[in-house]
């Protein structure tokens, strides 16, 4: 299920097929085992209404969870760009030689952070993560070396700024890992299957085309939720606009 939710389009196809099958199965059961009387039919209608209501609530909560996580990723991208930009300015508090090294490393680091957001290849992202860790160690070593040689209160600002740069990357990575739990997807799938089977059973003499309306609607809802929740493989993604703007400004300064 977890791998399936990483691919929203595949999830849409699988959901539509599965929900359509149970809807058709429910219709088949209705034809072979019809409701005995009006009282049972009315009771089944109440159960269906309650099931659809619960399904709608769960879809709404799941969408809210996905949207909150999406907003969190955007906020951390902005915070990361601000931290790097601030540290660029605080590098002026370091000795000239150390400041030049820090700025050069931060410029490369900014490019890697942009690739983190844009790159969708798992193997390349591993290489990006390794290089990012190396640059973080080099950046921390650069500011620590400067402060240990000639510590001043002003240089402490550069150290604090570098700490924010490193922390912001960790917060961003945690936000990309933070997704809707697999158990929630399972519960959502169970409710959708039950709702569509009951709808198929209640379809009665309605046209067979009507059986596929609810599966299509629910599948589109799953597609939207998974697309927002999948930061790598969906159509809706977090663009590193703030980091790209920072990289452009750093390029302008270098000219």
Which H, E and C letters describe 199-246, residue by residue?
A: HHHHCCCCCHHHHHHHHHHHHHHHHHHHHHHCCCCCCCCCCCHHHHHH
Q: What do you get for the CA distance between the two ends of the chain, in Å?
A: 50
pLDDT greater than 50 at residue 212: yes
With a pLDDT cut of 90, the percent of the chain lying above it is 43
Name the range with the highest mean pLDDT among 56-65, 120-129, 231-240. 56-65
Sign of the four-CA dihedral 92, 98, 104, 106: negative
Q: Which of 89, 140, 127, 132 is nearest to 108 (CA)?
A: 132
Q: DSSP letters along 175-200, please? A: HHH----HHHHHHHHHHHHHHHHHHH
Q: What is the mean pLDDT of the chain?
A: 85
Give the pLDDT score at 218.
Answer: 94
253 Cβ contact list (under 8 Å, min separation 6): none
Range 142-145 contact pairs with CB under 8 angstroms and sequence separation of 24 or more: 142/98, 142/101, 142/102, 142/105, 143/94, 143/98, 143/102, 145/98
Measured from the Cβ of residue 91, the count of other Cβ atoms closer than 10 Å reads: 24
Give the pLDDT score at 25.
Answer: 87
Q: Are 228 and 56 in contact (CB under 8 A)?
A: no
Give the pLDDT score at 254.
Answer: 47
- pTM beyond 0.85: no
Residue 255 binned pLDDT confidence (cut-offs 50, 70, 90): very low
5-9, 37-41, 96-100, 235-239: segment of lowest average pLDDT:
37-41
Mean pLDDT throughout 58-83?
93
Q: How far, in Å, are 10, 36, 184 from residue 197 at the CA level?
A: 22, 18, 20
Give the pLDDT confidence of 139-186 residue by residue, as tens digits. Answer: 988 887 766 655 677 777 888 888 999 999 999 999 988 888 888 899
Q: Identify the residue with better confidence: 80 or 1.
A: 80
pLDDT greater than 90 at residue 192: yes
Structure tokens at 242: 């703030």
Give the pLDDT score at 150.
Answer: 58
Q: Which helix (H) or strand (E) holds 19?
A: helix 8-32
Give the pLDDT confidence of 233-251 residue by residue, as tens digits. Answer: 778 888 899 999 998 887 6
Give the pLDDT score at 41.
Answer: 72
Largest CA distance in the chain: 90
Q: Identify the residue with better confidence: 253 or 199.
A: 199
With a pLDDT cut of 70, the percent of the chain lying above it is 90
Measured from the Cβ of residue 144, the count of other Cβ atoms closer than 10 Å reads: 12
Measured between alpha carbons, how far is 59 from 12 in angstroms, rounded to an integer? Answer: 14
Mean pLDDT throughout 78-92?
91
């Amino acid at each position: 299920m977890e791998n399936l939710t990483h691919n929203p389009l595949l999830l849409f196809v699988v959901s539509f097929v599965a929900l359509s099958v149970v809807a058709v199965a429910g219709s088949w059961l209705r034809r072979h085992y019809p409701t005995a009387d009006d009282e049972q039919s009315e009771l089944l209608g109440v159960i269906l209404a309650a099931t659809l209501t619960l399904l709608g609530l769960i879809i709404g909560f799941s969408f809210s969870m996905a949207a909150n996580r999406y907003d969190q990723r955007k906020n951390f991208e902005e915070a990361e760009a601000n931290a790097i930009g601030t540290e660029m300015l605080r590098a002026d508090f370091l000795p000239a030689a150390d400041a030049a090294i820090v700025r050069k490393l931060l410029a490369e680091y900014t490019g890697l952070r942009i690739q983190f957001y844009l790159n969708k290849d798992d193997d390349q992202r591993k290489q990006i993560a390794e290089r990012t860790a190396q640059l973080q160690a080099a950046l921390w070593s650069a500011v620590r070396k400067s402060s240990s040689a000639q510590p001043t209160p002003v240089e402490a600002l550069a150290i604090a700024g570098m700490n924010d740069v490193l922390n912001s990357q960790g917060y961003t990575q945690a936000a990309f890992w933070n997704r809707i739990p697999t158990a929630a997807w399972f519960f959502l799938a169970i409710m959708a299957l039950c709702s569509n089977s009951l709808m198929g059973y209640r379809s009665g003499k309605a046209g067979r085309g009507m059986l596929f309306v609810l599966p299509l609607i629910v599948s589109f809802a799953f597609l939207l939720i998974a697309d927002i929740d999948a930061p790598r493989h969906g159509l809706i993604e977090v663009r590193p606009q703030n980091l790209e703007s920072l990289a452009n400004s750093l390029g302008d300064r270098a000219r």
